[in-house]
Structure 1
Amino acid sequence: MADGGPPGGFAPGEYITGTRTAQPHVPGRMGTFDWDFRAGRLDLDRSALAVLGLRAEHYDGRALSAARLVPPEEAARLRARARLVLRQGVDGFGAYYRTRGEDGVLRTLHAQAQIRYDSGGRATRIVGVVREADSPGRGVGEAAGRSDLTEQLASLMAQTVTVDDVSAALNDREVLGSLGALGLILGMVEGGRMHLIALPDLGVSLPSMERPRLDEPLPMAEVVTTHRPRFLRSPKEFRRDYPTLWPGIEPFPLGAAAYLPLIADDRTIGVLGVLFPEPHSFHDAERNLLVTLAGGVARGLEGAMLHGQEHDIAQNLQQAMLPRVIPTVPGASIAVRYRSARLGRNVGGDWYDVIPMADGTVGLTIGDVQGHDTDAAVVMGQLRMVLSAYVAEGHPPATALARTSAFLRELDTDRFATCTYVHADLVTGQLRIVRAGHLDALVRRRDGTCEWIASGGGLPLGLSAEFAGSGAIDYPVTRALLGPGETVLLCTDGLVELPGTDLGTRMRSLSDAVAAGPEEVEALAGHLLRKAARLNGGDDMALLLLRRDDTARGAQDQPPDTART
């Protein structure tokens, strides 16, 4: 761990409750801390030093010095979870964690803090309090304990979007600590078998069967078939009731377990297993608590499964509306990419197309229909096919775009669309560019320099037809030259727009990324999409790259003609 890095061993960011404003815990011995990521400093008051088991005269103020108190297995878990928390951009958190002080005593501590971010959204500081924690499992059956734990899990489930999110949330240290549990197991019913998707991270091997059948003598299978929870209070009950499972359980430090059905729409979709280190009586209040928690997990899991189904439908619809195959074009190399930044049923209206023509030229189109829903995707598919048809019929670029705009208006939809169309002659290198409210084309020259081709543009498709009325729709044509070995990029605004940043700055950044990227178009397309995706701008992204072959001959020695006609 570098001195200035986010948690490699210290508490902040480890196990998050998911609340935007963390609720305070009743303190025992408590101190304050202020961790400056950039400076690598962790300022602790005298009480915090005592809680951590550090002597003031031995502490040099570096975060790394405090991190060394954390046992290696705990530090590894902290690093992985801290990265996730910081990516989520959550403001407040509460966390249990362990340290071993200079006196050799292993302590369980609790931190409550706020994460501070700079204007660019980067975490810079964590400030808060750290206290000695009581035994995490104490009092879980009491009313206050039940309320706190139910709220913790409800908060975690509210943040889950996918089944993997549910799996990660279940082994959150806050939940395990409140339950006094070793770990949680999550199994889902699939095709008459139990599929384990979450296992506790205990540093030991938990015996499990690979997708066991539901008719096998196993506690999770029994819960699915009976729809009733199963409480095993001691190893003796494991040995007596599940003899085939016992040989694997015996060497494992497991004292008791609760297996709870996850029920949605009157059917058991899975099982939640809660593992305890010591024999456990499971009094009525605790059984009720565990059943209540299982209900919350079932709702989170049901929502995640529904989300996954909706996301698959949306993705399939989007892909069905895009070209299934990009044609081979003599004299050029072509690469396309599409990435949805939306979740669930949201689907974008971005599209691209490559249209070879009978005379050996090629049409390149890219566009974006307003909105992020199935209607936008359907309109996108219609526009893409109509524009392709007009281009294939041989209509000049301006005419093809004008007719497409009129078609969109006749659809009687409130949607509009932006689009850029480039007609490329790969023998001469001549480009004819028309734009309907969309981004310009970007060209990378042979010497590696890049330029946006400033081209005249008209209104977006649909709007231009509405404002033109019965008159002609005007789309100016800009001419440019693409030399041998040079590449043209068309993209949608998801590749350059980022909330809170200047569009001109982002366009220069994209130009720099193209200039610095690989020459081969497939590698360049992947390079650009990865860089854009890391910025998480929240919009769909589509791009189309065409590189004219190095062997092309014709007008490459002519000066480029950028006159608008």
Structure 2
Amino acid sequence: MRLYGAALRMGCFDWDLDTGVMCMDATAHEVFDVRPDEYDGRPETLAARVPPVEAHRLDRIVAHALKDGSETYGAYFRVRCRGGTLRWTHTHGCIRRDDTGRPRRIVGIVRDATRELGDTPPAAREPVDQDAERRRTTSIVQGTTAALAHARTVRDVIDVLKDTHGLAHLGASNLVMGLVEAGRIRLVAEGPAGSFVPGTRVTRIDEPYPMSEVVRTLAPRYIESAEDFARSYPLLWPHIAGLGITSAAYLPLIAQARPIGALGLLYEAKTGFTVEERNVLVALGSSIAQSLQRAMFYEQEKDLAQGLQQAMLPRTIPGVPGAEIAVRYRSAALGRDIGGDWYDVIPLSGSRVGAVIGDVQGHDTHAAAVMGQLRIVLRAYAAEGHMPATVMARASGFLHELDTDRFATCLYAEVDLMTGVVQFVRAGHLDPVLQLSDGSCRRVPVDGGLPLGLSAEFGRLDYPVTTLELDPGQTLLLCTDGLVEVPGADLDDGMRALTELAATGPRDLSELADRLCEIVDGRGGDDDAALLLLRRREIDAPRSGGRLQQHVAPSDPEALAEARHMIRAAVRAWGAGERADEIELVADELITNALMHTDGAAVVTLRVLSGADRRLRVDVEDSSSALPRRREAGEDGVSGRGLLLVDLLADAWGVDARGGGKCVWCEFVVPARNEGV
């Protein structure tokens, strides 16, 4: 039987419908002209040997037999051999069903039918139901049009056209599409793989190619035979002759009375186009052109929106000594509206830096405009030296006075990179995340107030301040809700997922930022997202070796005496005994000046800074914005020599504005502990 089948070129197959695996014998491989090592047991692999028109007709026959309860089916179809020639083939299958009537397997034969049919068309053996064919064509047109209606981008349009359930079922085996750009046609799609013609990626409209012709004439071009193709386009034909193309239809894509591109459908085993086929193709070309124009407008508007959003954000992030910073912004994947998310890094006086993350309500140009104004104002308030709570309160008042009904959430962190002290103020925003030096992460609960704009409207401008010690090597993670919020999911779950991802992410800050943004890139969505990472440097940021603070009221001599005692004890305890008298004298002068020339109290802070030089720093803060100035003292004067004394004894000193007040500071180089007394 095997010898008889081989002589007749008749092979067998066994198709398991549950697993999709179809086993074939050696003769069946020969009928399909595939080697055993080329076939993986999947019927889809044979698609390269069966033209699309034949494959669709065969699929339709098999599917109909499976659905109507038939036990057998038979069909003629053509197979394309390696050399490109077509030969007739016949298959007969027996459907094996279970007790419920569900089809489980198909066992059958496939044989070479060349001698049997010769050049006889399939219609001679299989009459085609014209009404059924018309319904099929109509269904494909409707399905393709519906799919195009959901296409947002040019890539989406191309994917619809190349979908095996789309235009290919009209018989097209190859597809090319080009867009008109600056008097040229740029090829944006071609298929299948291996069909690209060198030199046609960009062509001029006046060149002798079919796509150029339909763009010039605004009329479709139907090439009805291989001879017609070779005669009409001698430059193109030699490159595609090996593809087995027998006809083609090139359609101009016209929108608003101007050509925006051209579409080419190339066919195998087909010659000529009926009037009905031409009408269908013209209708499809119109639908494709409209969808393509919508996609092009969408991409242009999205590019414009993203450009506007980026213009509102800082162009560059300044280098901050003692810190490593990474920022990211991701626009919404869905929709073309821009959002109000922003980040900012603000260098402040001394060793301080401000980090801001915020989100204005809404996703439109108005939200972006409000964001731009709010970012600039908040930056200005922080640079003026206002305390973090004051910065947030003033920004809220500014937003409330704008002609807008939008509010904004915001998180502001002021980081002293010398001491590691971070002061957080939160206005309805997400809590920050802290990554420790070992990579582990935790959410930092921060006391908060109402969002900006709302707090001013309701008269609740007192924002609480939360303090955190940031050690060298530790990282602050600030983000907007677009990075963690998933529709239908709890926000806390999103924050936990972000924390876990950061804990397992790379240590490189830029790579970590990219990894975190993969959440947005992979998920898509209709909300934008902003991210700011700030890491205190291990080497560049000096470490605080001690910190003491004393509050001195203007009319409390005991507090002044306690401050002097604290200074004296700290100087000796921290190994600065050799300079104890100098430090006590300068600190006493600064405290006295603060109490004499202001109406409020003074706050004295002592700390040891470890860096290139070990330094003892004295900060004296008061509520007066008037800056101290040196002046000449008279011969009998008892004042005017204070700052001269500070300048003479301290290694460095200066004044930092602090909102409604100031901080006068001085530093003394002191020996390391093992070198001191």
TM tier, shorter chain? 0.7 to 0.9
Q: How does 1:525-564 map to 2 (within 5 A)?
A: 525-536=513-524, 538-551=526-539, 552-555=541-544
Q: 2:484 aligned with 1:496, yes or no? A: yes
The 8 Å contact of residues 357 and 478 in structure 2, kept in 1 or not, is answered as yes
Q: How does 1:423-442 map to 2 (within 5 A)?
A: 423-442=414-433
Deviations 1:264-298 (A, max 9, x none): 01001111111111342212111111000000100
Q: CA deviation at 1:455?
A: 1.3
Query: In structure 1, which of residues 480, 494, 500 is the aligned counterpart of residue 468 of structure 2?
Result: 480
Q: How does 1:229-268 map to 2 (within 5 A)?
A: 229-268=220-259
Q: Report the CA distance shift for 1:73/1:351 in structure 2 as closer, same or farther (over 3 A).
A: farther
Instruction: Tell me which amino acid in the other structure corresponds to 1:69.
Output: R
For the residues of structure 2 that align with 1:412 and 1:270, how far apart are their CA atoms?
Answer: 45
Q: How does 1:341-352 map to 2 (within 5 A)?
A: 341-352=332-343
For the residues of structure 2 that align with 1:73 and 1:319, how far apart are their CA atoms?
Answer: 50
Q: Report the CA distance shift for 1:481/1:177 in structure 2 as closer, same or farther (over 3 A).
A: same
Q: What is residue 308 of structure 2 aligned with on the other side?
A: 317
Please, which moves more after superposition, 368-377 or 178-187? 178-187
Instruction: Tell me which amino acid in the other structure corresponds to 2:41.
Output: R
Q: CA deviation at 1:391?
A: 0.5
Q: Report the CA distance shift for 1:353/1:143 in structure 2 as closer, same or farther (over 3 A).
A: same
Q: What is residue 210 of structure 1 aligned with on the other side?
A: 201
Q: What is residue 354 of structure 2 aligned with on the other side?
A: 363
Q: How does 1:73-472 map to 2 (within 5 A)?
A: 143-201=134-192, 203-206=194-197, 209-468=200-459
SS in 1 for 2:202: coil
Runs of 4+ more than 6 Å apart = 52-55, 105-109, 127-132, 556-559
Please give the root-mean-square deviation of Cα atoms over the aligned residues, in Å: 3.3
For the residues of structure 1 that align with 2:168 and 2:502, how far apart are their CA atoms?
Answer: 49
Q: What is residue 494 of structure 2 aligned with on the other side?
A: 506
Question: Higher relative contact order by CA 8 Å / sep ≥ 6: 1 or 2?
Answer: 1
Deviations 1:155-175 (A, max 9, x none): 220221111111121111122
Deviations 1:350-371 (A, max 9, x none): 0000000122310100000111
Q: What is residue 41 of structure 2 aligned with on the other side?
A: 68
For the residues of structure 2 that align with 1:343 and 1:223, how far apart are their CA atoms?
Answer: 34
Please, which moves more after superposition, 272-281 or 433-442? 272-281
The 8 Å contact of residues 330 and 520 in structure 2, kept in 1 or not, is answered as no
The 8 Å contact of residues 190 and 196 in structure 2, kept in 1 or not, is answered as no
For the residues of structure 1 that align with 2:105 and 2:450, how far apart are their CA atoms?
Answer: 58
For the residues of structure 2 that align with 1:108 and 1:207, how far apart are their CA atoms?
Answer: 43
Instruction: Tell me which amino acid in the other structure corresponds to 2:503.
Output: A
The 8 Å contact of residues 140 and 167 in structure 2, kept in 1 or not, is answered as no
Q: Report the CA distance shift for 1:322/1:384 in structure 2 as closer, same or farther (over 3 A).
A: same
Identity percentage of aligned residues: 48
The 8 Å contact of residues 479 and 529 in structure 2, kept in 1 or not, is answered as yes
Instruction: Tell me which amino acid in the other structure corresponds to 1:233.
Output: E
The 8 Å contact of residues 422 and 470 in structure 2, kept in 1 or not, is answered as yes
Q: How many residues were matched structurally? A: 456
Structure 1 alignment gaps of length 5 or more: 1-30, 34-41, 56-65, 76-97, 110-126, 560-565
Q: CA deviation at 1:221?
A: 0.7
Q: What is residue 78 of structure 1 aligned with on the other side?
A: none
For the residues of structure 1 that align with 2:336 and 2:129, how far apart are their CA atoms?
Answer: 43
SS in 2 for 1:418: strand
For the residues of structure 1 that align with 2:290 and 2:231, how far apart are their CA atoms?
Answer: 33
For the residues of structure 2 that align with 1:106 and 1:368, how far apart are their CA atoms?
Answer: 66
For the residues of structure 1 that align with 2:393 and 2:104, how far apart are their CA atoms?
Answer: 64
The 8 Å contact of residues 365 and 420 in structure 1, kept in 2 or not, is answered as yes
Q: Report the CA distance shift for 1:156/1:226 in structure 2 as closer, same or farther (over 3 A).
A: same
Structure 2 alignment gaps of length 5 or more: 1-14, 26-38, 49-76, 80-88, 94-101, 109-122, 549-677
Q: Report the CA distance shift for 1:190/1:129 in structure 2 as closer, same or farther (over 3 A).
A: farther
The 8 Å contact of residues 313 and 345 in structure 1, kept in 2 or not, is answered as no
SS in 2 for 1:330: coil
- Which one has the largest radius of gyration? 2
Q: CA deviation at 1:203?
A: 4.9
Q: What is residue 628 of structure 2 aligned with on the other side?
A: none
The 8 Å contact of residues 196 and 211 in structure 1, kept in 2 or not, is answered as yes
Please, which moves more after superposition, 153-162 or 379-388? 153-162
Deviations 1:442-462 (A, max 9, x none): 111223332222111000011
Q: Report the CA distance shift for 1:190/1:533 in structure 2 as closer, same or farther (over 3 A).
A: closer
